[in-house]
């Protein structure tokens, strides 16, 4: 199966602190590190380390040292980087504080990820050849919509609606939802997109599920809910002690994509729930490790973890 990931790629600069700083607070970090990040690149790495898929990444970096280092890191994971192009902007950067409880605060400087030019011929070819196309919203919505238009009729288009701010524009929201086969959101994003800031979560799920082919709602320690039409499945979470939640959601999305059938007609609520269980196991392993791409487990590690759980 071929997967094309369309999205952001950043150099993560991570500071380990006692707790995520409050507004106006200055903290001394215990340590710092630099490594590959960005929702798109993280998801590409997660899909590549899962079993059975060939993965291509479509995105932009700057003509700088960070861009070259990030390209090499993707290649080391066997990811096709023919669609990773050099933009007239610096490589994106994410500034991340991680507390002792595993929680984080992230500021992203988009840089080259903000490029909204049309896809090049090589980028378009990778998307149109894929069985599964997955995108996020750390890049301009116009790029996401172009990717959805370029994919094959029978392929699956997966949108991780994070961040959810673009949905504040009703026209953009309608365009994104109408072309999405599988929408992946957390509870905050679910309520934001469904305009349901209060009330039972089931009402928000019902409202949003009616607008997409399938819906996956991740609920952290409460697991996830799968909705396809009127059918619902609840997938339990794996109990773990969180060390660093950075990139765990991206690990989930990338592994989920790698477990999907390669054809839209084969997508069922049971198939999606099975994929979500494997994705949840991978995310559980990721939160027990430090870093974004550095924390993504291999397929063998996920298999062993699920056998022991």
pLDDT, tens digit, 9 for 90 and up, residues 111-169? 999 998 899 999 999 999 999 999 999 999 999 999 999 999 999 999 999 999 999 99
Total tally of structural domains belonging to the chain: 1
pLDDT, tens digit, 9 for 90 and up, residues 18-31? 999 999 999 999 99
pLDDT, tens digit, 9 for 90 and up, residues 204-247? 999 999 999 999 999 988 999 999 999 999 999 998 888 877 78
For residue 1, the 8-state DSSP code is: -
* Residue 250 falls in the annotated catalytic set: yes
Residue with tokens 């974004």: 292
Range of the domain at 36: 2-308
Strand partners, 216: 184, 226
Which structure tokens are listed for 257? 């994509």
Angle at 302 between CA 151 and CA 139, to 5 degrees: 35
Q: Which of 66, 250, 270, 303 is catalytic?
A: 250
Contact 263, 131 (CB under 8 A): yes
What global pTM score does this model have? 0.93
Q: What CATH number does the domain containing 10 carry?
A: 3.40.1190.20
Q: How far apart are CA 123 and CA 81, in angstroms?
A: 10
């Amino acid at each position: 199966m071929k997967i094309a990931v369309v999205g952001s790629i950043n150099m993560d600069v991570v500071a380990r602190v006692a707790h995520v700083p409050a507004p106006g607070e200055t903290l001394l970090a215990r340590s710092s590190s630099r490594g590959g990040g960005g929702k798109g690149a993280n998801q590409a790495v997660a899909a590549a380390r899962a079993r059975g898929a060939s993965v291509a990444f479509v995105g932009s970096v700057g003509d700088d040292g960070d861009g070259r280092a990030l390209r090499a890191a993707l290649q080391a994971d066997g990811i096709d980087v023919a669609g990773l192009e050099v933009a007239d902007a610096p490589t994106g950067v994410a500034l991340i504080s991680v507390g002792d409880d595993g929680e984080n605060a992230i500021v992203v400087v988009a840089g080259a990820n903000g490029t909204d030019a049309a896809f090049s011929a090589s980028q378009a070819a990778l998307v149109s050849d894929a069985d599964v196309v997955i995108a996020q919203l750390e890049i301009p919505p116009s790029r996401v919509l172009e990717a959805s238009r370029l994919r094959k009729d029978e392929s699956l288009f997966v949108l991780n609606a994070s961040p959810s701010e673009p949905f504040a524009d009703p026209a953009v929201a309608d365009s994104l939802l109408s072309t999405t086969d599988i929408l992946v959101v957390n509870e905050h994003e679910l309520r934001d997109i469904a305009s349901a800031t209060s009330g039972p979560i089931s009402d928000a799920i019902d409202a949003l599920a009616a607008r997409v082919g399938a819906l996956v709602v991740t609920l952290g320690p409460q697991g996830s809910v799968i909705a396809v039409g009127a059918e619902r499945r609840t997938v339990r979470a794996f109990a773990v002690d969180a060390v660093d939640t950075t990139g765990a959601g991206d690990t989930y999305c990338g592994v989920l994509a790698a477990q999907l059938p390669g054809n839209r007609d084969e997508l069922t609520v049971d198939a999606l729930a099975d994929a979500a269980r494997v994705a949840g196991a991978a995310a559980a392993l990721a939160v027990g490790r430090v870093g974004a791409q550095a924390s993504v487990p291999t397929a063998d590690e996920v298999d062993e973890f699920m056998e022991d759980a």
